[in-house]
Amino acid sequence: MSEKIWLSSPHMSDEGYEMEYIKEAFDTNWIAPLGTNVDGFEKEVVKKVGAKHAAALVSGTAAIHLALIAAGIKEGDVVFCQDLTFSATANPIIYQRAIPVFIDSDYETWNMSASLLEEALEKYPQVKAVIITHLYGLSADLEKIVKLCKDKGVVLIEDAAESLGTTYKGQYTGTFGDYGILSFNGNKIITTSGGGMLLSDNEERINKARFWSTQARDKARHYQHSELGFNYRMSNVVAGIGRGQLKVLDQRLAKKNYIFEYYKKELQDLKDIGFMPVRHLNKPNFWISCITLCGEVRPEDVMDALAADNIESRPIWKPMHMQPFFQEYDFIGSDVGKTLFENGVCLPSDTKMSDEDLARVVKVIRSLWKDR
Ligand SMILES: *Cc1c(COP(=O)(O)O)cnc(C)c1O
């Protein structure tokens, strides 16, 4: 069996930066949550992406949950959510007993359509917040979406779980909305094994998020609680991994870009193949290189052929309005997300891949076009 090629697996620094920070946590016995790595990681992420404040948390999902709470989302509130995304974007809306309304994507960005958002704002003038995703590291149509939300006074939350390092007009995704969230899950561009971060320019809200994330303990000697708390704070050991990983983010960005360009160069002549859209305002992080297929060769053929050679690939996210769990909620749009789901393939985008590995992937894919 050939060696396994992964879609996107953890890639620690060659220099061993992560272990240095972990060792420091051990040496100082700062194994408990909080400590220098947590503070340091928050400061370093803020500096890198140009946000003002950040709270390090156990996951990206927890960050979305706290963003909704910080935005005051309560039972019965309407929250717009990108339809084509991972379920983790939408689940926290349900945690708050709020009502999601799913909005379709456009082909230009693969993310929430600004014109459908406009339509949705007419239909639901009471909406409290909008959650957009920057799928696979492609930025959403930020200029239009930010303006629509500002004009209507609706809170904008950016799910930048997949787009750390992506810029739009030179500014990092996650810093355009009232809140941005990052994920450091094992498959993301950098990882802490599991983790997330909430970003905002609003210091008071970030301080509040830290408070909620550590069980909402009031300032008192005894255990006193005036609000609902959560155990959502990132640990000091995990944050050490993040500090080390952040040092190699630029290397990872360069490699992800290289992988996308490689596939494009080697596959673009194939009939009926398309690549994810890269627009001039947008400098993606190329977290995952995605293709679309609209001819005889179907995504299943590609995924099956790759799997037979021990190579991991995946379909594009299945839209939320097609998920059994979210059946009862409104959906605004048509079939853009559905079409991308049915025709898309996520190709291996692991930064540990060598040129030989990339050539192996390309060879398997090209073989499917041989007899057609
Ligand atoms: C990974 C991911 C999340 C969730 O992040 P976790 O850290 O795994 O909780 C949320 N949204 C999107 C779009 C993601 O890809």
> Whole domain around residue 301: which residue ranges?
249-367
Last residue of a domain, one of 246, 271, 297: 246
Helices (H), 33-180: 36-49, 60-70, 87-95, 114-123, 142-152
The pTM score is 0.97
pLDDT score, position 280:
82
Query: Is residue 292 domain-shared with residue 335, that is, in the same domain?
Result: yes
Query: Is residue 264 domain-shared with residue 340, that is, in the same domain?
Result: yes
State which amino acid sits at residue 149: C
pLDDT score, position 33:
61
pLDDT score, position 213:
97
Query: Is residue 300 domain-shared with residue 154, that is, in the same domain?
Result: no
Our mutation pick for probing the ligand 1 site, out of 84, 183, 288, counting the most ligand atoms within 8 A of Cβ, is: 183
Domain count, the chain: 2
pLDDT score, position 122:
98
Q: Could you tell me if residue 68 is inside a domain?
A: yes
Whole-angstrom CA distances from 244 to 90, 186, 191, 319 are 30, 15, 10, 34
Contact 245, 12 (CB under 8 A): yes
Residues with CB under 6 A from ligand 1: 59-61, 85-86, 88-89, 133, 159, 161-162, 183, 185, 196
pLDDT score, position 27:
87
Ramachandran bin of 75, using left for φ above 0, alpha for ψ from -120 to 50, beta for the remaining angles: beta
Query: Is residue 314 domain-shared with residue 194, that is, in the same domain?
Result: no
Query: Is residue 55 domain-shared with residue 200, that is, in the same domain?
Result: yes
pLDDT score, position 372:
66
Q: Give me the CATH number covering residue 260.
A: 3.90.1150.10
Query: Is residue 338 domain-shared with residue 236, that is, in the same domain?
Result: no
Ligand 1 center to 372 CA (angstroms): 38
Query: Is residue 209 domain-shared with residue 64, that is, in the same domain?
Result: yes
pLDDT score, position 2:
87
Intra-chain end-to-end CA distance of the chain, in Å: 28
Nearest to 144 by CA among 108, 120, 182, 115: 115
pLDDT tens, position by position, for the chain (372 residues)? 789 999 999 999 999 999 999 998 888 877 666 679 999 999 999 999 999 999 999 999 999 999 999 999 999 999 999 999 999 999 999 999 999 999 999 999 999 999 999 999 999 999 999 999 999 999 999 999 999 999 999 999 999 999 999 999 999 999 999 999 999 999 999 999 999 999 999 999 999 999 999 999 999 899 999 999 999 999 999 999 999 999 999 999 999 999 999 999 999 999 999 999 998 888 999 999 999 999 999 999 999 999 999 999 999 999 999 999 999 999 999 999 999 999 999 999 999 999 999 999 999 999 999 866
Ligand 1 center to 174 CA (angstroms): 13
pLDDT score, position 18:
96
Give the closest residue (by CA) to ligand 1 atom 14: 161
Last residue of a domain, one of 190, 216, 246: 246
Q: Could you tell me if residue 9 is inside a domain?
A: no
Helices (H), the chain: 17-27, 36-49, 60-70, 87-95, 114-123, 142-152, 203-213, 236-246, 249-267, 299-308, 336-343, 355-367
Query: Is residue 344 domain-shared with residue 200, that is, in the same domain?
Result: no
Query: Is residue 215 domain-shared with residue 291, that is, in the same domain?
Result: no
Q: Give me the CATH number covering residue 223.
A: 3.40.640.10
Whole-angstrom CA distances from 241 to 25, 81, 154, 246 are 11, 31, 35, 9
Query: Is residue 100 domain-shared with residue 137, that is, in the same domain?
Result: yes
Query: Is residue 83 domain-shared with residue 147, that is, in the same domain?
Result: yes
Q: Could you tell me if residue 318 is inside a domain?
A: yes
d(CA 47, CA 262): 31
Cβ neighbourhood burial of 170 (10 Å; 0-12, 13-18, 19+): exposed
Last residue of a domain, one of 246, 279, 309: 246
Q: Could you tell me if residue 92 is inside a domain?
A: yes
Query: Is residue 215 domain-shared with residue 261, that is, in the same domain?
Result: no
